[in-house]
Structure 1
Amino acid sequence: MIRLVIADDQAMIRAGLRMVVETAPGIEVVGEAADGEEALAVTRRLRPDVLLMDIAMPHLGGLDAARRLLADPHPPKIIMLTTFDTDDNLRASLRAGVNGFLLKTSPPEQLIEAVRVVASGDALIDPAATTRVIASFAALHEPAAPPELAALTQRELAVLRLLARGLSNLEISGELEIGEATVRTHVARVLRKLDLRDRTQAVVFAYEAGIVRAGQRDRRRERPC
């Protein structure tokens, strides 16, 4: 059973989110919070698997609450909810290491999928948000290849490049013609070698390093040298 806390300053939004997720088997809403300070207290007391939190809340914003929780010894998986009008906060959340982003306009099935995906240890960014967030993030500076890249094999670099373009493990498996379990192994090695928390941070790293650039959408097969 996935234990979930919902944090949003609007009671009707919280009620709607609860209604959606409680229709899905295997997900239980164990608590709610109306602001960032309350989200901290409720989350630390109940220790849910996943925290679904609005990025803009009174008293303490969702981003600051996420930063504090992610500094805890055993933080929950965090999905940020947004209306997508605060690009700077979204970029900062990516750097902080949240596990997912979801637009408040996303369909119910996508919300349920997001909760399950991040609970399993993966990361998820709403497809409608990915292009704009990453493009604006990458435009902040000129890409520079960090020295950590030298630790990656050609295969791992290919996996990172495809991961950064938003491909799932199954899609990467098809692109590189390797097993899905092998993809998971490569992803784990990439994260470990680059000292990254999850796939979300890997996407940011890839754009910062210039491994992929905003607007790239070619799906040609990539093969290691």
Structure 2
Amino acid sequence: MTDQATPATAQAPATRVLRVLLVDDHPLFREGLAAAIDLDDAFTVVAQADSGEQALTEADRTTPDLTVMDLGLPGLSGIETTRRLLGTHPDTKVVVMTMSEDDDNLLAAMRAGARGYLLKGAVREEILRALHTVGQGGAVFSPHMAGRLSRLFAAFGSTPAKEAFPTLTGREREILDLLAAGLSYRQIAQRLFLADKTVRNHVGSIFAKLQVHDRAAAIVRARDAGLGHQQEPT
């Protein structure tokens, strides 16, 4: 009686589990989202962060495949965090998840490199579907935001300052534009019919939102975004 070799059974290669970093400053929302994502065997939540700075630290430590990013973070904004994160970890894919339906934030998130934009009212199935799509190299937006995105693309490039500085108000962008053109605080106040103190208050808010410490740094950021073409009054 001769021995017969048992044929080997072919096994499909195991699917790699995608590592997820969650960035949101609301702990209850973040924990609930982590629990929902961890129920899907395709993902594992490897880290959580409640600020942009912590997100960058955790990304360095865990090298996530996917990052779910809130925009309204304390300190470093979600847009800037996304930009810096992708600068140091270009292989990660960012899905923005936010309460904001603002067009400026949508465009700014895309310019920063986000591959998806979901509203926080999305149900679990929609979130997981989005993570699967983005994890496989696609891009995804909630149905409501996709419609707005198509309209925005038609006018893309018409609002560079809004895209570059989504956290600034219209008045703050106007003042930053005049600063970049070389006008003094008093000249800006005269141009906009504002009190000098009001202009200085707006400038302080601009510095805080842009995370710069002086006028020169703010002007550099503004001119990089295409501002500063106003002519100083004679």
Tell me if TM exceeds 0.5.
yes
Matched to 1:71, the amino acid is: G
Match for residue 143 of structure 2 among 122, 127, 138: 127
Aligned to 1:61: 77
Matched to 2:20, the amino acid is: L
Q: Does structure 1 conserve the Cα–Cα contact (< 8 Å) formed by 2:63 and 2:89?
A: no
Greater RCO, 1 or 2 (C-alpha within 8 Å, sep 6+): 1
Aligned to 2:97: 81
Aligned to 2:124: 108
Matched to 2:141, the amino acid is: I
Match for residue 37 of structure 2 among 4, 15, 21: 21
Distance (whole Å) between structure 1 residues aligned to residue 141 and residue 102 of structure 2 = 15
Q: Does structure 2 conserve the Cα–Cα contact (< 8 Å) formed by 1:102 and 1:126?
A: yes
Distance (whole Å) between structure 1 residues aligned to residue 154 and residue 99 of structure 2 = 21
Q: Larger radius of gyration, structure 1 or 2?
A: 2
Task: Give the number of equivalent residue pairs.
Answer: 142
Q: Deviations over 1:154-184 (max 9, x none)?
A: xxxxxxxxxxxxxxxxxxxxxxxxxxxxxxx
1:10 to 2:58 alignment: no
Distance (whole Å) between structure 2 residues aligned to residue 108 and residue 134 of structure 1 = 25
Task: Kindly state the Cα deviation for residue 140 of structure 1 after the two structures are TM-superposed.
Answer: 5.7
Q: Does structure 1 conserve the Cα–Cα contact (< 8 Å) formed by 2:96 and 2:118?
A: yes
Distance (whole Å) between structure 1 residues aligned to residue 75 and residue 114 of structure 2 = 20
Q: Does structure 1 conserve the Cα–Cα contact (< 8 Å) formed by 2:71 and 2:98?
A: yes
Task: Kindly state the Cα deviation for residue 132 of structure 1 after the two structures are TM-superposed.
Answer: 2.0
Could you tell me which runs of 5 or more consecutive residues in structure 1 were left unpaired when the two chains were aligned: 143-225
User: 1:51 aligns to what SS in structure 2?
Assistant: strand
Q: Deviations over 1:24-83 (max 9, x none)?
A: 122100000001111111012100100001011001111100011122253410000121
Task: Kindly state the Cα deviation for residue 116 of structure 1 after the two structures are TM-superposed.
Answer: 1.2
Task: Kindly state the Cα deviation for residue 86 of structure 1 after the two structures are TM-superposed.
Answer: 2.9
Query: Measured at CA, do residues 7 and 68 of structure 1 come closer, stay the same or move farther in structure 2, by a change above 3 Å?
Result: same
Distance (whole Å) between structure 1 residues aligned to residue 115 and residue 73 of structure 2 = 19
1:41 to 2:27 alignment: no
Query: Measured at CA, do residues 91 and 109 of structure 1 come closer, stay the same or move farther in structure 2, by a change above 3 Å?
Result: same
Q: Does structure 1 conserve the Cα–Cα contact (< 8 Å) formed by 2:79 and 2:109?
A: yes
Task: Kindly state the Cα deviation for residue 138 of structure 1 after the two structures are TM-superposed.
Answer: 3.1
Q: Does structure 1 conserve the Cα–Cα contact (< 8 Å) formed by 2:93 and 2:134?
A: yes
Distance (whole Å) between structure 2 residues aligned to residue 57 and residue 37 of structure 1 = 10
- Measured on the aligned residues, the alpha-carbon RMSD in Å equals 1.7
User: 1:71 aligns to what SS in structure 2?
Assistant: helix
Distance (whole Å) between structure 1 residues aligned to residue 96 and residue 120 of structure 2 = 10
Q: Does structure 1 conserve the Cα–Cα contact (< 8 Å) formed by 2:101 and 2:119?
A: no
Matched to 2:26, the amino acid is: Q
Distance (whole Å) between structure 1 residues aligned to residue 37 and residue 109 of structure 2 = 23
User: 1:74 aligns to what SS in structure 2?
Assistant: coil
1:96 to 2:103 alignment: no
Identity %: 35
Q: Deviations over 1:84-115 (max 9, x none)?
A: 34321211111222111111001100111111
Matches within 5 A, 1:128-147: 128-139=144-155
Distance (whole Å) between structure 2 residues aligned to residue 141 and residue 50 of structure 1 = 28
Matched to 2:49, the amino acid is: A
